[in-house]
Structure 1
Amino acid sequence: MSLQTAELGEVPAATTRVARAAFPKGSLAMRIRDELGELFSDAEFAGLYPSRGRPAWSPARLALVSIMQYAEGLTDRQAADAVRGRLDWKYLLGLELTDPGFHYSVLSEFRDRLIAGSLGTQVLDRLLEAADAKGLLKTSGRARTDSTVVLASTRKMNGLVMLGETLRAALNAAAEAEPQWLAAHAPPTWFDTYASRLEDSRLPGGKGKQDELVERIGTDGMIFLKAVYEPDAPSFLRQLATVQTLRVMWVQQYLIEDGRVRRRELKDRPPGAMRVVTPYDTEARASVKRGVYWDGYKVHLTETCEPDSPNLITHVVTTDATVQDVSVLRPIHAHLSERAWLPAAHLTDAGYATAREIVAAREQYGFQLVGPLLRSTSWQARETTGFAQADFTVDWENQQVTCPTGKTNKSWRHSVSRHGTPVIRARFSIRDCRPCPARQQCNRTEHRQGRTITLQPRAEHTALQQARNDEASEEWQKQYSHRAGVEGTISQGVRAFGLRRCRYRGLDKARLQHQLTAAAMNLHRIDAWLTGTPRALTRVSRFAALRPAG
């Protein structure tokens, strides 16, 4: 399939006349076309298509269709039907009234091309550039970021069902690829266990019997893998994705002990970032946040938040569920800097804000990162009578730390933390600490060493102290209160645009889904701004409104 690039051009006169008659007040699609013009050109997607082959449908139009599909929550079939039959969509796309559109499968193929060319971000950025040209994007003020959980498109399974389904998926794939070979190697009992979903059969009750079934599944899987890797077995069976998943899953979940297949103890299994949780989406990961357990991914949305312009999502990051929020902050800043969309103040929650990131934002990009910093978890900080690190005075010029009783450190050593970041460890002499009358408030260990204070580098330490002092001020609280609005963005994405659940399988497809979702949300927000639709207020139930003040 080849691409013959062409400009979309003006909306045909007949399409304009009929669409205006059908929609005298306009519609979202028509207003977007009138305000933002031709958002995309075919030339932007030329690298996605070969030079020879059957002519492709316009990728510039397909990009618009993909965004509108998410804006209205349509399936591929419904979106293709809308291109054929809806006047406002024909107006948006600049099509003749008689244009027959395309087969719905073209949309799936186009998404695959976007993923292969890593153009999902470019689609969102192009929309933002068009909004910026019309004065609708204000990035020089405040921005805010937050994340939410995203459930994988696959069903949730417990450990027993997960193992059985992994083996069943591999058996089904082998049966399709080499039925005669599998029929010759599959014991009759396998058909009773793996012919249908495990959760559809009567699973044994009691932990003991379930453990026996887990070991039996493990043994069957080992037998199957051994047969597949025999020299006389068809070699392409080993390359099947489900067989590779089975091999990885069995390495993670089982071991052979005294000639018997046993399931590994939880502490012997890989960490969550590596552990496969479903055979049907091998990139999904299991995680927990504030008591919420889920299998899937996590999406981070960054938006503007100025009163004199629509709040537009300027960046989207999708990761697996185990990635910490703070790790995506620098990629967000790098992208915004590249596009000249950096804010003056970036509002985040405690999951993103650290002293290190505050310094990096100020020194690398020249803006302020605003967010509450996590408090110390030491017992000294938790108990008001204890001597926490904040109670020690640091003289950076002389590399000296003074404790609340007036003693100074014996050594000053540069080191690294368990996370690999640079730190400074200042240790006090045991001769000073052991006879100290305030020892129980400072160091309760029986080690033969004095108290050790771990400091971040000077710039980060200073930023940490300053940030914690600022948090108590009324000015900081007023500034940070604007971050709460991003919760509404998350809610809108989840409730109106299906942000919580993946439509497709795999991280790349989830990432593209979220980029198109963000573009669709931006279309709605631009349309609301153009039509003067006020932003919704925070909803308060009638009972909650009766809460006494104070």
Structure 2
Amino acid sequence: MRCEWQAQTRVVAMGEWVGETVGPDVWETCRGLIPVGSVFAFLAEHRGRLFPAQMFADMYPSANGRPSMPPQILAAAITLQALHGLSDYQTVQELRCDLRWKAACGLGLYDMAFDPSLLAYFRRRLARSARPNRIFETVREVVKSTGVLKGKHRRALDSTVLDDAVATQDTVTQIIAAIRTVIREVPHAAEQAAIQCTAHDYTDPGKPRIAWNDEQARADLIDALVTDAVRLLGHLPDQQLGEKAANALGLLALVAGQDVEPAEDSNGRDGRWRITQGTAYDRMISTVDPEARHVHKTRTHRQDGFKAHLAVEPETGLYTALALRPATGTEHHEATVGIDLLADEDSPVDVFGDSAYSTGDTCQILHRAGHRLFLKPAPLKTAVLGGFSLDDFAINTAGSTVTCPAGHTVPLSEPSGRHMQRKALFTDQCASCPCASSAPPPRPAGSSPSAPTTTCSPLPATRPAPTPTGKPPTDDGDHPSNAPSPGSSPTATADSATAAPSRTTPGSTPVPQPSTCEP
């Protein structure tokens, strides 16, 4: 195959990038080396229609200058990067050395591509634009129009933590940084700070000079810094503020109060403060990135950052939906986001996921949408070792009653508390119950166990469980999740006052429950 030098001029509208391919066009001269039907061949042939120049016009609005690399080339590059799970450096190496990548992205044979940092700049422009998901939306439309997922009725839900490149800041660092930002961004704040803020020299880049090993000195500093913040906020004049100035004031108000409470002998109105006992809910960890949060994927492992949620077709590995959310808050929990990930499905699907997605409300919503659920049930918990679990009680949410293993029935309270749980109290019944001798007391004297709300009862399976074949699972049968998870317990029904905990008869074929109960 003859590869001769071709000086082809590109004119890219909406950015006016004008340049030449470095060497012959790989797709034109080396097409036979690109695997037929591959994503590389598809991008090489349809890249111009998938990612037209006008698609990125809003990302490069200035008429002065031009993008150092056509955005459609970068769009094709990050699409392949996501598909192969490569780093920025590895992506550029592929663009330099692999004919398939060169053909897919429209580079010349001798093109050395670009610096890896350009991919980071391009993603940053995307994130700050009005349509940050435009590339994913385009690829999803292509997948839908080509029918790649036709007949694929499985979706796996999962989430992962994306680490943020910021250091966790302590209370002192946050308050000082927030006050400095207000002084810098808010008109007339510098004059007021010079009068009202006396705890620290906020022009000094270092931390306050105190005896940091002295607990009382640290407490006095916290009190003084919070007082500075409150006085500065209270003495700023009423004025119209821009976005940056308004955000600076809001940030200062947040960090000044999230970690402190009135002092021990304070009446709450005398302006004396101390570090609060415990951690504030949804605490901001850094003024550098106010949206980053602590994330606990397990009880022992903590990370700082965000959560990425996705729905995947497991056979092809194609992402059908994704979402980037803050790491904390019930509105960003997997069970809530999972509903959104499946909202655009045109037909019912088989949904696979871990116990994070098996809350009662989520199961009800997905089942009503026609989806068949294969979600790992949440592990049963007991108040004390050897005590009773939720499955040992017959819970009837419709009749608002709960029956204990000994047959005592008590009323179920109305939802209350942060998690809107309903409680059943067996204080009097447990005092003289024969079960008390065979199980440890569920609570200390004077209190009683509680049964949280059962919000979703098991529903009959829409089709019988397939017989295990020993072969890899397919869309039409033999799902590994059809059998109960090892160690899982059957779920108590909640539809009738006389319902008893469900049990699987020995020797019978277990039928998967498309829904689960939420403690």
The TM-score by the shorter chain falls in which range? 0.5 to 0.7
For the Cα contact (< 8 Å) 1:3–1:46, is it kept in 2?
A: no
In the aligned structure 2, how far is the partner of 1:446 from the partner of 1:190? 51
Whether the aligned pair in 2 keeps the contact of 1:48 and 1:113 (CA below 8 Å) is no
**Higher RCO, 1 vs 2 (CA within 8 Å, ≥6 residues apart):** 1
- 1:154, CA displacement in angstroms? 1.8
Amino acid at match of 2:307: K
1:438 is matched with 435
Q: Do the aligned residues in 1 keep the contact of 2:293 with 2:305 (CA within 8 Å)?
A: yes
| Cα distance change on mapping 1:286 and 1:422 into 2, 3 Å | closer
CA distance in 1, matches of 2:189, 2:207: 22
Return 5+ residue gaps in structure 2 as ranges: 1-11, 486-519
TM-score when normalising by structure 1? 0.60
- Which residue of structure 1 lines up, in the alignment, with residue 497 of structure 2? none
| Separation in 2, partners of 1:163, 1:330 | 33
* Closer, same or farther: CA 198–136 of 1 in aligned 2, 3 Å: farther
- Kindly indicate whether residue 392 of structure 2 is the aligned counterpart of residue 391 of structure 1: yes
Change (3 A) 1:45 1:414: farther
Q: Using the TM superposition, name which of 370-379 and 96-105 deviates more.
A: 96-105
Distance change in 2, residues 1:167/1:291 (3 Å): farther
Report if aligned partners of 2:309, 2:324 keep a CA contact under 8 Å in 1: yes
1:358 to 352, 358, 363: 363
The answer to whether 1:372 aligns with 2:377 is yes
1:140-151 pair list within 5 angstroms: 140-151=152-163
1:198 alignment partner in structure 2: 207
Query: Helix, strand or coil: the match of 1:462?
Result: coil
1:241 paired to 2:247: yes
Matches within 5 A, 1:463-482: 479-480=480-481
> 2: CA distance between counterparts of 1:480 and 1:180?
62
Q: How does 1:35-434 map to 2 (within 5 A)?
A: 40-42=50-52, 45=55, 48=58, 60-67=72-79, 72-74=86-88, 91-94=103-106, 108=121, 111-112=124-125, 115-120=128-133, 122-131=134-143, 137=149, 140-173=152-185, 181=191, 185=195, 190-191=200-201, 194-198=203-207, 204-227=212-235, 229-230=236-237, 239=245, 241-254=247-260, 257=266, 259-266=270-277, 271-273=280-282, 275-288=283-296, 289-306=298-315, 310-323=316-329, 327-340=333-346, 343-344=349-350, 346-379=351-384, 382-383=385-386, 386-393=387-394, 403-405=404-406, 407-409=407-409, 412=411, 415-416=414-415, 418=417, 430=428
**Separation in structure 1 between the aligned mates of residue 162 and residue 443 of structure 2, nearest angstrom:** 44
Q: Is the alpha carbon distance of 1:312 and 1:202 closer, same or farther for their aligned partners in structure 2, counting shifts above 3 Å?
A: farther
Aligned length: 444
Shift, 1:321, TM fit = 2.0
* Contact 1:163/1:217 (<8 A) preserved: yes
When residues 169 and 50 of structure 1 are mapped into structure 2, their CA distance, relative to the original with a 3 A threshold, is closer
Query: 2: distance between equivalents of 1:365 and 1:300?
Result: 22
For residue 438 of structure 1, give the secondary structure of its aligned residue in structure 2.
helix
TM superposition shift of 1:314: 2.6
Deviation at 1:262, TM superposition (A): 2.1
Residue 334 to residue 443, structure 1, CA distance change in 2 (3 Å): closer
**Ranges in structure 1 where 5+ consecutive residues have no aligned partner:** 485-550
Kept in 2: contact 1:145–1:347 (CA 8 A): yes
Label 1:254 to 1:355 Cα distance change in 2 as closer, same or farther (>3 A). closer
Q: Alpha-carbon deviations, 1:150-177, whole Å to 9, x = none? A: 3322222233333333334444546xx7
8 Å CA contact 1:48, 1:114 repeated in 2: no
How far residue 443 of structure 1 moved from its aligned partner, in angstroms, is 6.5
Residue 349 of structure 1: CA displacement? 1.9
- The 1:312–1:438 alpha-carbon spacing in structure 2 relative to 1, beyond 3 Å, is same
Residue pair 1:125, 1:314 contacting (<8 A) in 2 also: no
Is 1:33 the equivalent of 2:39?
Answer: no
Cα distance change on mapping 1:208 and 1:348 into 2, 3 Å: same
Letter in 1 for 2:326: D
Quote the offset at 1:371 in angstroms.
Answer: 0.9
Query: In structure 2, how many angstroms separate the alpha carbons of the residues matched to 1:387 and 1:72?
Result: 49
Q: Deviations over 1:72-110 (max 9, x none)?
A: 5338xx97x999999876643447899999999898578
Q: TM-score, structure 2 length as denominator? A: 0.63
